[in-house]
Amino acid sequence: MFIFKLLLRNAFRHKLRTLLTIVGLVVAVCAFGLLRTLIDAWYAGVEASSSTRLITRSSVSLTFPLPLSYRERLRAVDGVTVISWANWFGGIYQSERNFFPQFAVEPTTYLRLYPEYLLDEADKLAFIRDRGGAIAGRKLANLYGWKIGDQIPLRGTIYPGTHTFTLRGIWDGREAKTDENQLLFHWAYLNEQLRARYGRAADFVGVYILGINEPANAALISQRVDAQFANSLAETLTETEAAFQLSFVSMSETILAAIQAVSFIIIVIIMAVMANTMTMTARERLAEYATLKALGFPPGFVVKLLFGESLFIALIGGLLGLALTIPAVAAMGSAIGSFLPTFAVTPTTAALQLGAALLVGVVAAAWPAWRMSHIDIVQGLRHVA
């Protein structure tokens, strides 16, 4: 208790300097948390992917569709248990700023492949029966205030015209990382629209989603699938869902690396500021530390005082920065909307924030503590005069 009181008095002996240092720590820790949360959100799709799902797409590009007739040959591939398919829709809801993923899917098999979408059985049945129905994730529905039975008009960009869907269900994610920012509707509805308008453009899908029985055989099953369509007019590329998601993340890899670098640079800067504060503190108390040594206190006691004070200030700044990060992330998540599937502070990010704050405290006190522990008593006492 005595040591704690001494640390508290020493830490706030120069209140303004200490408060400014704490403010700097709070800003740095909060900024570090925001940037790390942004990186985590970018990789959320990869982390939420399942090892029991494969994605089959055109080997040329995602913009090249695959024939619907491939589904029969895919069913015959050894190791494949379930087959579904989906098309990216890319419609606009009310305004171009309202971006969120929309997929035309085969409802029965798709929901079977994604058990992490927790949907009421009655709502699921209503969605499957209604060709013009749709389902949405909870976050997306909350964002726009949708309720079951609402009409949702989407103005097509890839597929011209305005398409109106009836919301038949709202799903909740099984885990926090499960994407709740998507809208799903019937692939058959979209296919009928294409057949009516363009004829030959119908009966094509963007990707096939394959359920497999043995995740350890994912590479082998992928080879079997692609071998089925080698040298055809529409060759395929089959990969795990995680690899498929990573192909999108890799497009922004340079930006993510820059963001990650900035997050660490912020910590280095505040580390320098904190080190300067502790060096000034040690210099001002040179005579006090010399007196302590003259009275018989060991050098380790001086080291404990400096490290304790530095860690005490760093801990206050770290905890306040962590507390501020939570509302800051919530505000940033609202501004981003449904652009990223999940945007929340993870336990890992919180641990990194506190760890960074404590690291700043340790590093900032290292040099002053070493110097003060080796101070000559006579020189220190002369500093009084």
Terminal CA-CA length for the chain: 33
Residue 110 and residue 227 in one domain:
yes
Using CA atoms, how far residue 137 sits from 56, 87, 231, 244, in Å, is 24, 18, 40, 21
> pLDDT tens for residues 292-346?
666 666 666 667 777 777 888 888 888 999 999 988 888 877 766 656 667 778 8
Residue 195 and residue 73 in one domain:
yes
The answer, as to whether pTM is greater than 0.85, is no
Residue 376 and residue 280 in one domain:
yes
Q: Is residue 360 part of a domain?
A: yes
> Residue 385: what pLDDT?
41
Classify residue 3 by burial, with Cβ atoms within 10 Å: 0-12, 13-18, 19+.
Answer: exposed
> pLDDT tens for residues 249-270?
666 677 778 888 888 888 888 8
Helix axes of 286-294 and 299-336: crossing angle, nearest 10 degrees: 140
Average pLDDT (104-122) is 94
Q: Is residue 263 part of a domain?
A: yes
> pLDDT tens for residues 57-86?
999 888 899 999 999 999 989 999 999 999
> pLDDT tens for residues 2-14?
666 766 676 677 7
Residue 89 and residue 180 in one domain:
yes
Query: Does 247 have pLDDT greater than 90?
Result: no
Query: Residue 370 CB: number of other CB atoms within 10 A?
Result: 12
Residue 160 and residue 224 in one domain:
yes
Residue 73 and residue 220 in one domain:
yes
> pLDDT tens for residues 136-169?
999 899 989 999 999 999 998 888 888 999 999 9
Q: Is residue 227 part of a domain?
A: yes
Q: Which tokens go with 301?
A: 């006691």
How would DSSP label each residue in 41-72? HHTHHHHT--TTEEEEEESS-TTS-EETTHHH
Counting the structural domains of the chain, the total is: 2
Looking at 179, 202, 234, the residue that finishes a domain is 234
> Residue 235: what pLDDT?
92
Residue 210 and residue 117 in one domain:
yes
Query: Does 350 have pLDDT greater than 60?
Result: yes
Residue 370 and residue 277 in one domain:
yes
Most confident of 124-128, 213-217, 317-321: 124-128
Q: Return d(Cα 181, Cα 336) in angstroms, integer.
A: 12
Q: Is residue 54 part of a domain?
A: no
CA dihedral 196, 198, 203, 207 (to 10 degrees): -120
Domain housing 78: 60-234
Q: Is residue 281 part of a domain?
A: yes
Contact 33, 322 (CB under 8 A): yes
Q: Is residue 242 part of a domain?
A: no
Q: Return d(Cα 210, Cα 82) in angstroms, integer.
A: 6
Q: Is residue 49 part of a domain?
A: no
The pLDDT confidence band at residue 282, using thresholds 50, 70 and 90, is low
Looking at 203, 234, 265, the residue that finishes a domain is 234
